């Protein structure tokens, strides 16, 4: 097996390959385990099952596409599959699909016999730059998304941008929202790279996509190495997310794709940073707007063309219940400069209300 692109040390280490996937690598990984099974999004498996090479013949559990797989019923079915196929703590579960598939498969792997090895083959841009990396796993409850989960670091993540070819355009766009977040957190050169690559990213150019995955995944690996359980710096990866979650809640879950809500959330975070006078480059919100537009992403609530625009009161209430903050007290991440941010910042309801309406 060639050397991974990036690695998070630990026992076992978590290795990330950003490359054209060679099925031989999966076979090498499989040989380190007593048994191998696959958990895959049923649509993705139909389109890309062949990327598994000979492992396609191993026991395979298909799950519904998207967020629908993140339920207690689906978790139980995944665990029954592990039991029926005699998996042990020495076994390997490979997931094939987007962030929802790796969330479910990762959680089943964390729970079955108190933990077996998991490796992810993310097939969405969000999965490749974010969801499959760093060991967060979860299913949803009626009370909210991702409320039941565990940290369970994958042994390996294989990010092959050729798998993004079949991604619906809206999913590519949503992934670009998370990539822009990484550009803001990554620094001046990271942001400038996205500005240079914007047109190629929209066109799905594989080289530009590989650079974007390296940018996002590289930032995430660096942060997760330092703070695997989100005690501090990992919170930065939620830049724009308090606003985004409020938009998703008010619009009704599933109405606005997460990464698209994140795009608006990023612009809100920058406006808040300017209003609080912590942003050094006052022109950054306008520069961000230009980049978002070049990527076909929205930068304010009106761009989302929701059936009913939420009031600032609705949005504030949703933010007050965001699971990332203390109860009733929304917390925000504000940007000081490209590559420099702070987390846990409280904001006044009045100020946030003004920013939504800009
Ligand atoms: N998606 C943010 C994180 O994994 O921390």
Average pLDDT over residues 237-242: 96
DSSP string, 267-308: HHHHHHHHHTT--S-TTHHHHHHHHHHHTT---SGGGG--SS
Q: Are 93 and 100 in contact (CB under 8 A)?
A: no
For ligand 1, the distance from its centroid to the CA atom of residue 124, given in whole angstroms, is 15
For ligand 1, the distance from its centroid to the CA atom of residue 84, given in whole angstroms, is 32
**What are the b/e assignments for 179-196, b being 16+ CB within 10 Å?**
bbbbbbbbeeebbebbee
Q: What is the pLDDT of residues 48-106, one digit of tens each?
A: 999 999 999 999 999 999 999 999 999 999 999 999 999 999 999 999 999 999 999 99
pLDDT of 324 strictly over 80: no
Of 120-134, 208-222, 265-279, 305-319, minimum mean pLDDT range: 305-319
For ligand 1, the distance from its centroid to the CA atom of residue 133, given in whole angstroms, is 8
pLDDT of residue 325: 60
Strands 156-159 and 14-18: parallel
Average pLDDT over residues 139-153: 92
Average pLDDT over residues 315-342: 85
253 as an active site residue: the answer is no
Distance CA 181, CA 216 (A): 8
For ligand 1, the distance from its centroid to the CA atom of residue 196, given in whole angstroms, is 26
pLDDT of residue 105: 98
SS3 content of the chain, % helix, strand, coil (to 5): 55, 15, 30
Q: Which of 238, 248, 271, 274 is catalytic?
A: 238
What is the share, in percent, of the chain residues with pLDDT greater than 90?
87
Atom of ligand 1 nearest to the CA of 235: 5
**Domains present along the chain, CATH in parentheses:** 6-165 (3.40.50.1970), 172-356 (1.20.1090.10)
pLDDT of residue 155: 97
pLDDT band for 327, please (50, 70, 90 cuts): low
Q: Which of 114, 142, 277, 308 is catalytic?
A: 114
308 as an active site residue: the answer is no
Average pLDDT over residues 301-326: 84
What does pLDDT average to over the chain? 95
For ligand 1, the distance from its centroid to the CA atom of residue 131, given in whole angstroms, is 7
| Ligand 1 binding pocket mutation candidate from 98, 233, 237 (most atoms within 8 A of CB) | 237
Q: Which of 61, 241, 271, 274 is catalytic?
A: 241
pLDDT of residue 253: 80
Q: What is the pLDDT of residues 155-177, one digit of tens each?
A: 999 999 999 999 999 999 999 99
Residue appearing with tokens 């879950």? 253
230 as an active site residue: the answer is yes
Q: Which of 245, 248, 271, 274 is catalytic?
A: 245
pLDDT band for 329, please (50, 70, 90 cuts): confident
Report field, pTM of the whole predicted structure over 0.85: yes
pLDDT band for 117, please (50, 70, 90 cuts): very high
Of 143-147, 261-265, 305-309, minimum mean pLDDT range: 143-147
Atom 3 of ligand 1, nearest CA residue: 237
Cβ neighbour number for residue 312 with a 10 Å cutoff: 17
Q: Which of 67, 171, 178, 248 is catalytic?
A: 178
Alpha carbon distance, N-terminus to C-terminus of the chain? 52
Structure letter (DSSP) for residue 86 = T
Residues 6+ apart with CB under 8 A from 68: 74, 100
For ligand 1, the distance from its centroid to the CA atom of residue 58, given in whole angstroms, is 30
241 as an active site residue: the answer is yes
pLDDT of residue 269: 97
pLDDT of 321 strictly over 80: no
Atom of ligand 1 nearest to the CA of 234: 5
pLDDT band for 326, please (50, 70, 90 cuts): low
Q: Report CA 332 to chain centroid distance, whole Å.
A: 18
Strands 6-8 and 14-18: antiparallel
189 as an active site residue: the answer is no
Of 2-16, 103-117, 227-241, 344-358, minimum mean pLDDT range: 344-358
Average pLDDT over residues 255-264: 95
pLDDT band for 37, please (50, 70, 90 cuts): very high
pLDDT of 323 strictly over 90: no
Structure letter (DSSP) for residue 134 = S
Which protein residues touch ligand 1 with a CB less than 6 Å away?
A: 130, 134, 136, 230, 234, 237
Q: Are 188 and 339 in contact (CB under 8 A)?
A: yes
Atom of ligand 1 nearest to the CA of 134: 4
181 as an active site residue: the answer is no
Exposed/middle/buried for 328, CB within 10 Å: 0-12, 13-18, 19+?
exposed
């Amino acid at each position: 097996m060639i050397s991974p692109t990036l690695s998070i040390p630990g026992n076992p280490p978590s290795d990330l390959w950003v490359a054209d996937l060679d099925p031989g690598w999966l076979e090498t990984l499989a040989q380190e385990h007593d048994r191998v099974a696959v958990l895959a999004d049923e649509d993705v498996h139909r389109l890309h099952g062949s990327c598994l090479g000979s492992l396609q013949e191993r026991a395979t559990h298909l799950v519904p596409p998207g967020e629908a797989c993140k339920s207690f019923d689906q978790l139980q079915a995944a665990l029954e599959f592990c039991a029926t196929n005699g998996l042990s703590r020495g076994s390997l579960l490979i997931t094939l699909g987007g962030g929802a598939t790796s969330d479910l498969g990762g959680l089943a792997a964390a729970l079955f016999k108190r933990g077996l090895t998991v490796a992810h083959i993310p097939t969405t841009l969000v999965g490749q730059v974010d969801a499959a990396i760093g060991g967060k796993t979860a299913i949803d409850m009626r009370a909210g998304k991702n409320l039941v989960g565990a940290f369970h670091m994958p042994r390996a993540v294989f990010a092959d941008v050729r798998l993004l070819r079949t991604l619906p355009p809206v999913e590519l766009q949503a992934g670009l929202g998370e990539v822009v977040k990484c550009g803001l957190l990554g620094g001046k050169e990271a942001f400038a790279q996205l500005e240079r690559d914007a047109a190629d990213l929209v066109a799905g150019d594989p080289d530009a996509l590989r650079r974007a995955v390296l940018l996002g995944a590289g930032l995430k690996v660096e942060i997760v190495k330092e703070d695997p359980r989100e005690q501090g710096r990992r919170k930065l990866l939620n830049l724009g997310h308090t606003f985004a979650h409020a938009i998703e809640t008010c619009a009704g879950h599933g109405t606005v794709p997460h990464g698209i809500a994140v795009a608006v959330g990023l612009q809100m975070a920058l406006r808040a940073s300017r209003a609080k006078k912590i942003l050094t480059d006052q022109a950054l919100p306008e520069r961000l707007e230009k980049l978002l537009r070049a990527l076909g992403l929205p930068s304010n609530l009106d761009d989302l063309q929701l059936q009913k625009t939420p009031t600032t009161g609705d949005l504030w209430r949703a933010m007050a219940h965001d699971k990332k903050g203390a109860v009733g007290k929304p917390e925000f991440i504000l940007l000081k400069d490209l590559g420099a941010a702070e987390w846990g910042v409280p904001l006044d309801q009045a100020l946030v209300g003004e920013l939504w309406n800009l």
